[in-house]
Amino acid sequence: MITITLRPASIRNQHIMDQPDYMLINWRVSGSTHIWRPPTDVLELEENYLVRVEIAGMNEKDFDIILDQNYLTIKGVRPEISTRRAYHQMEINFGEFITTVEIPGPIDPQAVSAEYKAGFLTITLPKVTPKQIPING
């Protein structure tokens, strides 16, 4: 089962302010810790938004998914194979990863769901339907 954390309103803005700049603008950072960003799609359908992350080799419990206002952050660690080897070509990232996307419209945070299948993490964010307000007169 995948857990999605909803941040309480009192700490939502502080969470965004605490994020390093590279998390908010999706820059790749190098240094002593190599944090990488998996390929991520954001799709809009008629009744919901879908966020799809290509991240093979994981288990459902390995993801940390945080919905903070209109920002969705997905992070985790893909473990590296521990056997000794010599690479001739290396394109698959291992270690800590993070991706943050902005949700383009209002959603129902209580109805958000996630599924991990065939190397793809798919998060469904149902749209909030606008409420028609009648004018009395």
Per the prediction, the chain carries an average pLDDT of 84
How much is the pLDDT for 66?
Answer: 96
Quick: pLDDT tens for 37-96.
999 999 999 999 999 999 999 999 999 999 998 999 999 999 887 788 888 888 889 999
Question: Would strands 95-102 and 71-78 be described as parallel, antiparallel, or unpaired?
Answer: antiparallel
Burial of 6 (0-12, 13-18, 19+ CB in 10 A): middle
> What pLDDT does residue 32 have?
44
Q: What is the per-residue pLDDT for 6?
A: 83
Q: What number is the average pLDDT over the span 93-104?
A: 95
Q: What is the pLDDT of residue 61?
A: 92
Region of 6 on the Ramachandran plot (φ > 0 left; ψ -120 to 50 alpha; else beta): beta
Residue 15 has pLDDT above 70, yes or no: no
pLDDT band of residue 14 (cuts 50, 70, 90) is low
Tokens of 74: 């997905």
- What pTM did the predictor assign? 0.75
